Chains A and B, each alone.
Chain A
Amino acid sequence: MNLLKELKYAESHEWVKVEGNKAYIGITDYAQGHLGEVVYVELPEVDATVEAGSQFVVLESVKAASDVYAPISGTVVEINENLIDNPGLINESPYESWFVVIEMTNPSEVDNLLSADDYEKLYA
């Protein structure tokens, strides 16, 4: 399974990369493989508040729409505009294709996430 050791993972297939109080969020290679070709991404707006466990992004493939759940809580400070024009990037390079950057309100939530090894054990 293609995973990056330095990232944290949610059971619902999102990855989180922490930089200070900010967190980058995307979906795993495993998840994009199951979705098939992503054709459209619906991202939240900058300044939107998201809560851990709530749906905050919608991904569409040709014949399916999938909700993506926020792995941590916070305020959206940046969105990846590149994905809007080129959603296929999520298939090509899932770990570079972050959806949003979140200013975390409760950084300790990161501790509840899975390591790469734990995630792999769940889905291998």
Chain B
Amino acid sequence: MLKHQPLIFEISRRGRKAYSLPECDVPVAKIEEILAERYLRSEAPDLPEVSELDAVRHFTQLSQRNHGVDSGFYPLGSCTMKYNPKVNEQVVRFDGFTKVHPYQSEETAQGAIKLMYDLGDMLSEIAGMDQFTLQPAAGAHGELTGLMIMKSYHINKGDVKRNTIVVPDSAHGTNPASAAVAGFDIVEVKSNDKGLVDLQALKEAMNDEVAGFMLTNPNTLGLFDENILEISKIVHEAGGLMYYDGANTNAIMGITRPGDMGFDVVHFNLHKTFSTPHGGGGPGAGPVGVKKHLAEFLPVPVVSKKEDGYFLDYNRPLSIGKVKEFYGNFGVCVRAYAYIMSMGPDGIKAVAENAVLNANYIASKLKDKYYLPVDRECMHECVFSGVWQKEKGVSTLDVAKRLLDFGYHPPTIYFPLIVSEAIMIEPTECETKETLDNFIQAMRQIADEVDNDPELVHSAPHTTIISRLDEALAARKPIVRYNKQV
């Protein structure tokens, strides 16, 4: 791999080409006769001019500057970086999926609509919900959709002043951000000393303006809130609805279901729990499931079935409307469908069991070297605090950077916000004991280095193609595009 990979614009040379197009086979009219000059640009946009091989090498070189799940262990907490099965990439590329126009007639897209219908059914079963929409494009988009549904439900009942969403202080940042986009006021409740919802604080936050409570369970500390039925009761008795942030569903699939815990609305992240690739930051999909009493508010179109086949139902007068073009990230849905079909009911349950076992194994094997703020059985991820290392002048960021030298993607750091110097490790069910043992060994070695040679950790990474970058410079004088040197 080259140390320095130029920008594609720096490789570009006038006259080189990587494209081929057929000759124009219709009679050619003069452009000026078709379009007035004032509509036309005087010079073409300055896109690169390279040969096909140059282009292929450029992007191949760039790819090698990334770490993916296939490259190595990726225990990024809260992101569920599980293996992305290859067969899913094969089936999603069938012509009968990629070469289907969203507006071609329903009769000519029965396979696609059926797949969406069946995926919705399977997600409903896993969530304990009655109906799903596949339209939201990501987890945060699902949250927003769910919150809009909740607001519509209250308004439809004539309960117009319910304009507050309550979230715990351990919530994902998207929860309050989504609530704000949906036009809600946000009230945050503190967690108790065990990292769980403080029931008293929750009760005090309840009133007739509360639309609902958003909760991740297991929460962002990786802990299952055992008071979940009590929490649902408190919220429901105050007239609110329960929203389940499904980012952490990997821990509970087949063991328990949000619907059975008392939740009314849930979103799943297909790109976390259901193995679809993260793609360097998307596309994902954030389907939303609801209980019956909320189904009439789902976005249009709702994928439905009648005697002579499947169809897209736009005739839903109480629907919140559309939240996205067409029907969602269909290609992502195909992969998730293939995943669930590959796993079956026992496989899905085994996911949760193995994810939880792997996380507890790491927690147990590292807790003498790193401070574990809540020492009890965790779910699919465990959250350490780097405070012991911090006392020796080495931050959690330093520890994360040092892990790069061992070939690992570091865990999520500095989240959740309620744990100082947080290190959030999510191994997923896919990893074997040997992989975990090697990672544990590296983490223990780093802890020893902090004791014996803190500067080694502080100045890490030492083996990556680039060292730590000056983020302050980037933010102070933002350079966000290439400009040709003249």
- Within 8 Å by CB, do A and B touch in the complex? yes
Q: What residues make up the interface of A, taking CB atoms closer than 8 Å to B? A: 37, 39-40, 60-63, 87-88
Residues from chain A with a CB closer than 8 A to the CB of B475 are 39-40, 60, 62
Residues from chain B with a CB closer than 8 A to the CB of A37 are 472
Residues from chain B with a CB closer than 8 A to the CB of A88 are 472, 476
B468 to chain A, nearest CB (A): 12
Q: Knowing that A39-B472, A60-B475, A87-B476 touch, tell me 7 more A-B residue pairs with CB under 8 angstroms.
A: A39-B476, A40-B476, A62-B471, A62-B472, A63-B414, A88-B472, A88-B476
B397 to chain A, nearest CB (A): 10
Residues from chain B with a CB closer than 8 A to the CB of A62 are 471-472, 475
A37 to B475, CA, bound (A): 10
A42 to chain B, nearest CB (A): 13
**Which residue of chain A has its CB nearest to the CB of B471?**
A62
A-B pairs, top 3 by smallest CB distance, nearest first, are: A39-B475, A37-B472, A62-B471
A39 to B476, CA, bound (A): 5
Chain B interface size, as a band, is under 10
Residues from chain A with a CB closer than 8 A to the CB of B476 are 39-40, 87-88
B173 to chain A, nearest CB (A): 12
Q: How many A-B residue pairs have CB under 8 A?
A: 16
Interface members, chain B 453-476 (any A CB < 8 Å): 471-472, 475-476
A37 to B472, CA, bound (A): 7
Q: What residues make up the interface of B, taking CB atoms closer than 8 Å to A? A: 414, 471-472, 475-476
A90 to chain B, nearest CB (A): 12
A40 to B472, CA, bound (A): 10
A54 to chain B, nearest CB (A): 18
A61 to B472, CA, bound (A): 7
Residues from chain B with a CB closer than 8 A to the CB of A63 are 414, 471
Q: Sample 15 A-B pairs with CB under 8 A, ordered by A number.
A: A37-B472, A39-B472, A39-B475, A39-B476, A40-B475, A40-B476, A60-B475, A61-B472, A62-B471, A62-B472, A62-B475, A63-B414, A63-B471, A87-B476, A88-B472
A60 to B472, CA, bound (A): 10
A115 to chain B, nearest CB (A): 32
**Which residue of chain A has its CB nearest to the CB of B397?**
A63
B175 to chain A, nearest CB (A): 18
A36 to chain B, nearest CB (A): 8
Residues from chain A with a CB closer than 8 A to the CB of B471 are 62-63
A41 to B163, CA, bound (A): 32
A38 to chain B, nearest CB (A): 9
A88 to B414, CA, bound (A): 24
A89 to chain B, nearest CB (A): 11
**Which residue of chain B has its CB nearest to the CB of A91?**
B472
Residues from chain B with a CB closer than 8 A to the CB of A61 are 472
A5 to B99, CA, bound (A): 74
A88 to B472, CA, bound (A): 9
Residues from chain B with a CB closer than 8 A to the CB of A40 are 475-476
Residues from chain A with a CB closer than 8 A to the CB of B472 are 37, 39, 61-62, 88
A105 to B472, CA, bound (A): 37
A92 to B414, CA, bound (A): 27
A87 to B472, CA, bound (A): 11
B418 to chain A, nearest CB (A): 16
A1 to B380, CA, bound (A): 45
